[in-house]
Amino acid sequence: MKLKLKNVFLAYFLVSIAGLLYALVQLGQPCDCLPPLRAAAEQLRQKDLRISQLQADLRRPPPAPAQPPEPEALPTIYVVTPTYARLVQKAELVRLSQTLSLVPRLHWLLVEDAEGPTPLVSGLLAGSGLLFTHLAVLTPKAQRLREGEPGWVRPRGVEQRNRALDWLRSGGGAVGGEKDPPPAGTRGVVYFADDDNTYSRELFEEMRWTRGVSVWPVGLVGGLRFEGPRVQDGRVVGFHTAWEPNRPFPVDMAGFAVALPLLLAKPSAQFDATAPRGHLESSLLSHLVDPKDLEPRAANCTRVLVWHTRTEKPKMKQEEQLQRQGRGSDPAVEAGDKRPLC
């Protein structure tokens, strides 16, 4: 038993001596703990530097907001609107003029279907605050709708739109407002805006930088929620439409705009009063652009910014009855068309 204890003690002593010798040897070796310590110190230094930068940014005054381009630097939008005398004419034109007044660098070409300017339209333009040109041309009798004919039988506003194109190209004939056409080299875009549609202000900024012919969807038209181009990879590849989809350009009048230089370079391009139903837009666009070169706007034609709305025709039975009795509404109160109702 004594021998075994002695052996255990001896083994313990030898192991201790070996451990002591190993420790003494390691004291002379370089320590490998410094790199991790240096890395941790560098991370702390970088964090302190980032905190200092953020504190300096907070003390710095905020930058001035980006200023929009000066109106003079923007291309001009020429809005062409045919209009004709009816009870709701003034209401329609007031609504449209107040939308247009929100758009910078805009020139309104208002064309009456009349032999000359009417006081109602002249007064409305004078008070609109808009840059405008007032034109007038009477639709030939052969092209006018006959009593009881639906509106789609004959194209309307053809003479008026073509009169506006003539003025843009050569001037002359203005009965009010700006008399001279755009000077050579003017940057601009031409849009045909009927007086009974509803327009988002955004639409005009979408079209402003048109290079050739730009397009977008139109709501509430063609018996659909909307009609418009189908776009793939930023190019027009077809059209969403239900009625005569094989038309050269199955678009609504409110669904495109044309760069002014392109219109001026194509003096023969105009609307054809004899075009088949639904082909009026194509009669102009076919002279200007190939369908594959159309420029999609409104987020690649995924947003509707114009609607083909129509004001309900007022019912005037009571007015007609009072007029027969000689007690009709005072014609001196300007409300709309002053022609007799019966």
Q: State the alpha helices, DSSP H only, in 140-239.
A: 158-170, 201-207
98-104, Cβ contacts within 8 angstroms, sequence gap of 24 or more: 99/199, 99/201, 100/128, 100/130, 101/128, 101/129, 101/130, 102/201, 103/77, 103/201, 103/204, 103/205, 104/71, 104/74
Indicate the residue type of 192.
F
CB 186 within 8 A of CB 277: no
The pair of structure tokens assigned to 194 is 């009927």
Does the annotation flag 144 for ligand binding? no
Does the annotation flag 196 for ligand binding? yes
281 among known catalytic residues: yes
CB 117 within 8 A of CB 136: yes
Distance in angstroms (rounded) separating the CA atoms of residues 255 and 206: 12
Distance in angstroms (rounded) separating the CA atoms of residues 115 and 299: 42
Does the annotation flag 113 for ligand binding? yes
Catalytically annotated residue among 112, 206, 281, 295: 281
179: number of Cβ within 10 Å: 13
Does the annotation flag 194 for ligand binding? yes
Does the annotation flag 330 for ligand binding? no
Does the annotation flag 57 for ligand binding? no
Does the annotation flag 84 for ligand binding? yes
Q: How many CA atoms lie within 13 A of 87 on its CB side?
A: 10
Does the annotation flag 195 for ligand binding? yes
Annotated binding-site residues for Mn(2+) read 196
Report the binding-site residues for UDP-alpha-D-glucuronate: 82-84, 113, 156, 161, 194-196, 308-310
**What amino acid positions are annotated as catalytic residues?**
281
